[in-house]
Amino acid sequence: MESASETIKRIFGGNGNSVGAEMAEVSSRYNALERVRFPKPSRTRYIAVANQKGGVGKTTTTVNIAAALAYAHSRVLVIDMDPQGNASTALGVKHNTGEPSTYDVLEGRKSIEEVKQRSPVFKTLDVVPASIDLSGAELEVADMEDRNNLLKNAIFSFTESSKTHYDYVIIDCPPSLGLLVINAMCAVNEVLIPIQAEYYALEGLGQLIQTIGLVQEHYNPALLVSTMLVTMFDRRTLLSKEIYDKVYEHYPHIVLKTTIPRTVKISEAPSFAKSVIEYDPHGMGAVSYREAALEIARRSPSVLKTIQTRKQRSN
């Protein structure tokens, strides 16, 4: 019996530039992912997804990397630190004003255990939602003692008492460089930076790296920029390739080989309160995010070793 990719090639022809060839390629990549085993990290990875520039695919990356890892049977906790609550929307959890949320966790009214919700789709994915209430948190906690470590303390308390072991804790940061982002970066060991395939994104990258450097210097010396992911990549244009090559030139050990294409399905999925992994599982966007998640998973040993070394040096 012929495979799906062979059927598509037979119907559409073998022209390398044809729609049929692209469909066959995606089908082949999907089938390969279905056969592969995603390795689990030896200990929990704490990752903030951050970029102060909006519209680069930050929340989309948080949602779909988390969904892809959960689809592969890893245990994942997503913490939404963006007052817009878009990650909460895309993951299908309740986050209306007044619902228990990250806001209550930061203010100390509730624990993560009390606030987290189970994903309605992925059994191994839990979400700490955010609502617009969180927008006032920066002012309200500004005078609190140890204000930079509010989230860190809440996560530590939760993981110490929780019966559930999480392979990944992933925090979606707001597109800014304020107190919420500082809290996220103090609470994690790693930063994942999505970079849109355009020149303006490169300008913002330098500013973000500088900010991370300040956090490392003053608050969290073990913090590591472990991953960069190029998003909204259009392989038909020279510009996208030039952006990728430029990022790779400067950060060859950090940028993923996988790129995320600009597709309609990725953009549509949140409006249905779904990740693209659920919304269009066989499509180019879902396959690309699953490949990116596999790269992240396979890098766990080297990333965790680097973090351990940095912690030892800082003590």
Indicate if 89 and 112 belong to the same structural domain. yes
Say what the pLDDT of residue 9 is.
53
132 shares a domain with 29: no
One domain, residues 142 and 177? yes
Say yes or no: 107 and 140 in one domain: yes
Same-domain pairing of 27 and 68: no
Please spell the DSSP secondary structure of 187-222, one letter per residue: H-SEEEEEEESSHHHHHHHHHHHHHHHHHHHHT-TT
Contacts of 181 (CB under 8 A, 6+ apart): 48, 50, 52, 81, 173, 174, 211
The verdict on 149 and 126 lying in the same domain is: yes
Same domain, 21 and 119: no
Answer yes or no: do 30 and 129 share one domain: no
Instruction: Give the pLDDT score at 274.
Output: 94
89 backbone dihedrals φ, ψ, rounded to 5°: -60, -50
The 3-state DSSP class for residue 157 equals helix
Would you say 116 and 126 are in contact if contact means Cβ atoms under 8 Å apart?
Answer: yes
At residue 190, the 3 state secondary structure works out as: strand
CA 238 to CA 29: how far, in whole Å?
A: 24
Amino acid 8: pLDDT: 47
Q: What is the CATH number of the domain that holds 86?
A: 3.40.50.300
- 227 and 200: one domain? yes
Whether residue 113 sits in one domain with residue 3? no
State the greatest distance between any 2 C-alpha atoms of the chain, in Å, as a whole number: 68
Give the residue numbers spanning the domain of 3.
Answer: 1-35
Q: Per-residue pLDDT tens for 81-108?
A: 999 999 999 999 999 888 899 999 999 9
Q: Helices 58-71 and 284-298 meet at what angle, rounded to 10? A: 70
Same-domain status, 189 and 269: yes
Examine the domain organization and report whether 94 and 111 are in the same domain.
yes
Provide the pLDDT for residue 40: 97
pLDDT in tens, 175-234: 887 889 999 999 999 999 999 888 777 777 888 888 899 899 989 999 999 999 999 888
Reduced to 3 states (helix: H, G, I; strand: E, B; else coil), residue 57 is coil
Q: Are strands 125-128 and 117-118 parallel, antiparallel or unpaired?
A: antiparallel
Q: What is the CA radius of gyration of the chain?
A: 19
What is the predicted pLDDT for the residue at 183? Answer: 94
Per run of 10 residues, the mean pLDDT along the chain (length 315 residues) is 52 54 85 94 96 83 97 97 94 90 93 96 96 85 84 95 95 88 94 88 80 90 94 85 89 94 93 94 96 97 94 82
**What is the side-by-side strand order in the sheet with 168-172?**
117-118, 125-128, 76-80, 168-172, 45-49, 190-196, 224-231
